[in-house]
Amino acid sequence: MVMQLAPVTVIREIFARADTIAVVGLSPKPERPSNQVARYLQEAGFRIIPVNPGQDEILGCPCYPDLRAIPGPVDVVDIFRRADRVEPVVRDAMAIGARVVWMQEGIVNEPAARLAEEAGLIVIMDRCMKVDHQQFVATVQR
């Protein structure tokens, strides 16, 4: 189910069932979108696993060089990589048993999405996890 304009119910279900989100391409720089999104998701209660081969730790969490190096289950793989570099990440997501591949806003790779979908993963493309969580899941604090 390749979705850019995913039904709200699917997005809500992803967030309801997800515990662990691996963020591929997570930058240690606070001003970068990957860092802002991951920090938001961490503050919203998700376990974030940074994936960046050039770092040892980001956002207080151990950083891994790739998805296959993560010692445990991953529910969602949130991808901050150029579209032409997504397919190897999708293959790794399939290999580790992730349930969802989420390509961040501006990232679209139809062949990689089809590959993931054929393996039974839910695929979201060209959407921001932070924006969707704020819009469809987060409650307004008063």
What is the mean pLDDT, run by run of 10 residues, along the chain of 142 residues? Answer: 64 94 98 98 97 97 98 97 97 98 96 96 95 80 34
C-alpha span between 118 and 134 (Å, rounded): 29
Kindly report the number of other CB atoms within 10 A of residue 62's CB atom.
13
Cβ–Cβ under 8 Å, residues 41 and 53:
no
The distance in angstroms from the start CA to the end CA of the chain is 36
pTM across the whole model: 0.92
Predicted local distance difference test score (pLDDT) of residue 138: 73
Predicted local distance difference test score (pLDDT) of residue 139: 55
Predicted local distance difference test score (pLDDT) of residue 136: 87
Predicted local distance difference test score (pLDDT) of residue 93: 98
- Percent helix, strand, coil in the chain, to 5, is 40, 20, 40
C-alpha span between 48 and 63 (Å, rounded): 10
Amino acid at 128: C
Predicted local distance difference test score (pLDDT) of residue 142: 30
Residues in the chain: 142
Predicted local distance difference test score (pLDDT) of residue 14: 95
Domains of the chain with bracketed CATH: 1-76+95-105 (3.40.50.720)
